[in-house]
Each structure stands twice: as C-alpha cells, then as structure tokens.
Chain A
Amino acid sequence: AQRVTQPEKLLSVFKGAPVELKCNYSYSGSPELFWYVQYSRQRLQLLLRHISRESIKGFTADLNKGETSFHLKKPFAQEEDSAMYYCALDTGNQFYFGTGTSLTVIP
C-alpha cells in the first residue's frame, strides 16, 4: 500500500510566485515526516522535517493530521528552487518515499 502520495509529478511556477508541493501519507501511528530535495547532479539531501518546525531556504511544511498531509510551501519561488522534491515518512524501521515532484521555476 502506498504510504506516501505526491500527486504532482511535474510542477512549473514563475519566479516570485507561491509554490505548494503536495504530500499525503497513510500511517496509523504517529508520523515522522520529512522533505528531501535533489538538485541537478547532487545527492539527495534533507530539506526539512516536521518535528523541527523549521523554515529552510524559505520553505515550510505543516503537518495536518486531520487531512494526513504534509504539504511543502514557499511564498516566493526562486530559480534555484528548481529540483526534485521527495516527501518521506519514517515509521521507525523504514522510510517510505513518495514518487517525487519535479519543480521548475520559470524565470
């Protein structure tokens, strides 16, 4: 069963526009959720995690247990945000990744 769903494979926004990358999860326990990013020719790296309630590179994500969502948001997209973004769920022993969203920011 798919535990993490990212409905958008591709997302394009103009520079300066708001961006939201959707993530929904399925898990009966207390979820530990992360966003990972992979820039062109770079390794996959952590962007942010819900438990830290942090803002990294202007991105934030709020865990909504009622909607089982962990959407990633940024108010003003920048060209350097173009990358592949993965939502991930940690169930303790295993990480489950979504299928990823490729974000393109158009200058």
Chain B
Amino acid sequence: NAGVTQTPKFQVLKTGQSMTLQCAQDMNHEYMSWYRQDPGMGLRLIHYSVGAGITDQGEVPNGYNVSRSTTEDFPLRLLSAAPSQTSVYFCASSPWADFDQPQHFGDGTRLSIL
C-alpha cells in the first residue's frame, strides 16, 4: 500500500513547455485534488475530482488542466508553462463518502519554470 505517489519529484521546464505531473493512489479513494504550495500563500487548491469522469476547479485553476479517467490516477497538465507556475505541487486523496475524512498527501513535485 503505497498511498499517494507523485512523479516526478523534481522538474525544470522552460517557459512555454508543456508537461504532466502524475498522481496515483492505491486506496480506492474517490476524492483527489491538486494543490500548489508557495511561500506565504500556504496550500491553494488547483483542481479536484470527486470520482472518475468528474473534475472541477479550485481556487487557482488557470493554466492547469486535469482529467480523471480512472479512480487511481489524477494527472495535472501544464499546457504552456509560465514562471508564475514555479511552485511545489501536492496531490492528495480521501474517501468521499465520509464528510470529515482527512486528506492523504503525496511527497510533492518541485517544479521550476525558467
């Protein structure tokens, strides 16, 4: 039981490049989400999903796309990277049925856009 697995752990991109951050969980959690963590800003929700085929926007969705074709995977796509997207990205998951369930986080992906 690996929990939430994020890949890669580190990535450097040039402005305008695209890439996908991968997130997978093996706990059969319905709810998955992506956050970015910036100094002085805490964690801000980018996108979330309450089940396969269902996604919605969080606080800061611009510049990011997501899809949820399976329960296990929730990739985050940057279509055209910008320096403002330099951040640490965290994926999280939790059961959806119980309202008060905590989120389980991955180790994070440190992304730098040059």
Contact = CB atoms under 8 A, between A and B. Distances in A.
Interface in B31-48: 33, 35, 40-45, 48
Interface residues of B, number: 23
A94 B43 CA distance: 12
B26 interface: no
B99 A90 contact: yes
Interface string A83-101: 0001000101111111110
Interface in A45-59: 45-46, 49, 51
Interface in A1-47: 4, 6, 9, 32, 34, 36, 43-46
Given A90-B99, A95-B33, A43 B106 contact: yes
Contacts of B105: 43-45
Contacts of B15: none
Nearest to B107: A43
B92 to A, nearest CB: 8
Interface residues of A, number: 23
A100 B42 contact: yes
Contacts of B41: 99
Contacts of A4: 42
Contacts of A6: 42
Contact of B100 (A9, A36, A43, A51): A51
A77 B42 CA distance: 23
Given A43-B106, A44-B105, A86 B99 contact: no
Contacts of B45: 94-96
